[in-house]
Amino acid sequence: MKFVDEAYIDIAAGDGGNGCVSFRHEKYKEFGGPNGGDGGRGGHVFAVADPNLNTLVDYRYSRRHEAKRGEHGMGSDMFGAAGDDITLKMPVGTIITDAQTGQVLYELLTPGECITIAKGGDGGFGNLRFKSAINRAPRQKTPGWPGERKSLKLELKVLADVGLLGMPNAGKSTFIAAVSNARPKIADYPFTTLHPNLGVVRVGPEQSFVVADIPGLIEGASEGAGLGHQFLRHLQRTRLLLHIVDLAPFDEAVDPVAQAKAIVGELKKYDAQLYDKPRWLVLNKLDMVPAEERAAKVKDFVKRFKWKGPVFEISALTREGCEPLIKAIYQHVHDLQQAEHGVVEVDPRFVDDAPQ
């Protein structure tokens, strides 16, 4: 299935039915009085977060969505029936904005969450509503109110705890395949990842986190160069960024430090808040560096990159160093989740000096 993370739709809630002017006409009932009923409410338009969807492709070619209008009121005190509602299923993580103003209207963040994105119009009043002691034969009625009409932009931001950041061919796809259940396309050319891949990393029973493999960034990505700029927004909801660096590029003229600095620069240009997110440095492809040269090469990179945060040395291909990294990520995500609920606790299984 083609990954679609943007779509534009037009929605229209149903108009309310008109009220009715009617009088009772029965034999031997000289003064039957008014009996015109109200019109029915127009149908609403709902949006529901469906965890089984992961793309907005359903809305790429189906742009117009209309709910039914309410029925008109009728005589004999009969009110019109309400119009049928419609429900639009969208992936979890969808942001709904006004296509004209750009204002964010709704966000679907919880599976099963249901919101009203367009309200149906109320039904009009029949002449039964206007009967009074001084107006016993009213001939007034009101038309139904129109339903809401909106032009909306749907934007999908994948919900992941950890986002992978790096140049094309840095080994992100290999890493996500090594640690999760995701099976992205892997090859020895740069742009193998053409859309985000989500993988669930299982650390233990009922212990997991979600990692997102984003297409690689290149210099100038914040201005639209390359593929990664289309998906940078998917990193905005992550709790942690892993900056994966190819420590042994095929081209010896390529400087990994310069590439890493370019990525950080593009991140800062794109979004300052994204730049300020917790970020760990992951030096990949150590299997391609001779064992006796690894320590010196890592030390030289960290020094030239002027990095003061956490550093992990791995080989995604052989899975060397992946397990300590996974445990550290889980503990970090776990701590953030607990802090959000006002509780901070450490899982003893992931503390090296904890008693067994």
- Strands 94-98 and 104-107: what pairing? antiparallel
- Helix residue ranges, H only, 271-318: 272-275, 291-305
167 annotated ligand binder: yes
CA distance 203 to 322: 12
170 labelled ligand-binding? yes
135 marked ligand binding residue: no
215 carries a ligand binding annotation = yes
Structure tokens at 273: 């808040």
Is 22 annotated as belonging to a binding site?
Answer: no
191 marked ligand binding residue: yes
184 is annotated as contributing to ligand binding: no
Confirm or deny that 214 is annotated as ligand binding.
Answer: yes
Residue 94 in marked binding region: no
Establish whether 38 is an annotated binding residue. Answer: no
Is 221 annotated in a binding site? The answer is: no
User: Is 286 annotated as a binding-site member?
Assistant: yes
Distance CA(263)–CA(281), nearest Å, equals 12
Three-state DSSP class for residue 33: coil
Flag whether 173 is marked binding: yes
Query: Is there a contact between 309 and 321 (Cβ–Cβ < 8 Å)?
Result: no
The answer to whether the annotation marks 192 as part of a ligand binding site is: yes
In a 3-state reduction of DSSP, which class is residue 169?
coil
| CA distances in angstroms from 164 to 82, 114, 189, 238, 243, listed in the order given | 49, 31, 18, 10, 6
Binding residues for Mg(2+): 173, 193
Binding residues: 166-173, 191-195, 213-216, 284-287, 315-317
Binding residues for GTP: 166-173, 191-195, 213-216, 284-287, 315-317
